[in-house]
Amino acid sequence: MRRKATLPKKWDAENFPGFWRDTETNVSTEKLSIDQSILDNSNRVIEKHSLSYMTYSVPFMYQVYANVNITPWGTNGFYQAMGWFGEKHVRLQENRLSRIILEQNASEVRSLTIGESWGMGDGYMFIANSIDAKAATPQGWFSLIRNKTKLDDEVMLPAGRSHEPSANSPVNLY
């Protein structure tokens, strides 16, 4: 007589590596389950409404808030993140999701000089067009481009300056 093997009926990041898990915090949010009594190697059809995928958002601290105590504009220092079919996403207003294209780690700092660009991933480029270090408040003019199309142009003020800039010093972007 052949013995039936019972298949797993619940999966999460512990037993399925295809789900997202944050390596720094060990947080995971995705679960897949089959609510069906007979499911084994002989009975492999999942009945209608018996399969469910669930995920939820959890708060993550912005790195700039965690490391230099600068609160990103419009936030309390945190954003809501969640796994969505194996990738980390950010939960936006009105329950929309966005895939994260760049997440700096705790020690990563980017400095740009005039004319320099920063490839951020997924076709996005951040370009330093001009830097005025002699203004009463140092400022820089930057462009955000995706796939060679300009999305935005902004004059930005540096955050968390600890020294007086010179005309050739880069503006640190956090």
Tell me the whole-structure pTM to 2 decimals: 0.65
DSSP code of residue 93: G
pLDDT at 173: 45
The CATH number given to whatever domain includes residue 130 is: 2.60.98.40
pLDDT at 174: 38
| Of the residues 56, 78, 99, the one at which a domain ends | 99
Written as one letter, the residue type at 129 is N
Residues 79 and 121 in one domain: no
Residues 85 and 164 in one domain: no
pLDDT at 166: 45
The total of structural domains in the chain comes to 2
| Of the residues 99, 124, 147, the one at which a domain ends | 99
pLDDT at 106: 60
Q: Tell me the three-class secondary structure of 51-80, residue by residue.
A: EEEECCCEEEECHHHHHHCCCCCCCCCEEE
Average pLDDT by consecutive 10-residue portion of the chain (174 residues)?
59 94 93 82 82 94 81 86 94 88 74 90 93 86 94 81 44 43
Q: Containing domain of residue 114, as a range?
A: 110-173
Residues 20 and 91 in one domain: yes
Residues 139 and 86 in one domain: no
pLDDT at 129: 95
Q: Are 77 and 96 in contact (CB under 8 A)?
A: no
* 58 phi, psi to nearest 5 deg: -135, 150
